[in-house]
Amino acid sequence: MSAEGDMDAAIAAARAAVGLPVGSRVVAAMSGGVDSTVVAALLHKAGYDVVGVTLQLYDHGAALKKKGACCAGQDIHDARLAAETLGIPHYVLDYESRFRDAVIDQFADSYLRGQTPVPCIRCNQTVKFRDLLDVARDLGAQAMATGHYVRRAVGPDGRAQMRKAVDHSRDQSYFLFATTSEQLDYLRFPLADLEKPQVRGVAAELGLKIAAKPDSQDICFVPSGDYRTLIDRLRPQGRAPGKIVHMDGRELGEHSGITGYTIGQRRGLNIAVGEPLFVTRLDPDTRQVVVGPREALLTAALTLEETNWLGDQPTITDAAAEGAPVLARVRSTRPPSPARLTLTEGVIGVAFATGEEGVAPGQACALYDPADPDRLLGGGFIQGTTPVV
C-alpha cells in the first residue's frame, strides 16, 4: 500500500475508534512521544476539534534530556512543538505534586512493604485516567484519546469493553486493568488497529520531528535507571540491615535492606550454599529476606486488592462467587495462564490450574476471558500468594 493509502487507512481507523460525529471536540493526551503525537495528528486530519493536553509530572536533573523519558522537560517541548505544527490548541498542566503523591511516594512505600510495584499502572489509574479526564470534561470535550495500544469496543449489551490491540507485541491492556467502565465510556484509543512501524510511518509522512523518537521507558521518573537510589533517598529506613534466611530456617547471611530485593531474584544475594537460591519472600516486619529453590517460587493461588471489573457479571465478587474461569496475567512479560476466581471470607482470589511463576505482591494481575482471550475482564493488585510447595 502507498504512503498515501496508509495515511488514509490510519485516518479512517482513528475516526472509527472515536465513533463521534466529525467536528466533535476530543482532548488528545500528548506525552511528547510518537504514539500520542500521532493520535493528535490523526484526529486533527480526521476533522475533529482537537485540544492537546500535556501533563508535567516531574522535572529533575538528567530526566530533562534522558532518551526514553516522558512528561518532563524535553517531552513537553516536543508536545508543544507538535501541537504548533498541527495548528491545534495545547495546554501544559503542572501535576508534579499529584504525581509525587499518587505514584512516586506509593512506589517507594511499596518497596518498604516488601512489594514489587508497577508505577505506570498507578499513573494511568490516578493522574491520567482520573484527574486528566476531569480536565478533558472541563474543556467541553466529548471524549479523550490516548496513544495506548488497546482497543475499545462496544459489546452486544451496549457496554464498552477493553480488548487487546491488533499488535499483540505492543498491547498495553495489562497496564490498564484498573480502567473503570465509566472511564472507558469516555476514552478512545485510535492506535488499536495500527502496528508500531505504521505509526512511525504516519509520523514521518506528516513531517513530525518525533517520528524516530525512542519509546518511553516503564519507570519514567528514574533518570539513572537505578530505582534503588531513588528509594534510598526517599525512604532511607529501607536500608536497615537484616538476615537472609533459607525457607527451612537456616540463617545464610546478612543484607543491607529489603528494598534491595525482589521476589524471584537470584543475582546479588552474596551467599554460597552450593545450590541456586532465589528470593521467595520478603518480611518487612522482621527485615528478613527469605530464599529457597526455584520450585518454591511456584504459586498455586493469590489474593487481590483494589480490584476492577469489566466483565459481564455485575461485580467481580459475583464472578468470584461463581468460581468464574479466567486467564490470569501476573506480569506484563508473561502470557496469561488458566485460572479461576475464588471468594474466601469476602476476599477475591485467583487459583491457578498449574503452578505459576513470577508472582509477587504489589504487581498487577490482569484477567482475560478464556472464551474470548482478547477481552480484558479487569484485575487487581496482588496482595498475597500461596505457594505450591
Q: How far apart are CA 305 and CA 327, in angstroms?
A: 18
Catalytic, 220? Answer yes
45 with 8: CB under 8 angstroms?
Answer: no
Q: What residues are paired with 337 via a beta bridge?
A: 328
Q: Which helix (H) or strand (E) element contains residue 78?
A: helix 73-86
Helix, strand, or coil here: 189?
Answer: coil
Active site residue 123: yes
Nearest to 191 by CA among 147, 128, 251, 134: 147
Closest by alpha carbon to 245, among 294, 268, 279? Answer: 279
Catalytic residue among 70, 120, 123, 365: 123
Q: Which three cell numbers stand for residue 115?
A: 512489594
Angle at 54 between CA 165 and CA 88, to 5 degrees: 90
Q: What is the DSSP letter of 213?
A: P
The one catalytic residue in 70, 71, 120, 220 is 220
Using alpha carbons, select from 302, 290, 310 the residue that is nearest to residue 361.
302
Which residues are the active-site residues?
123, 220
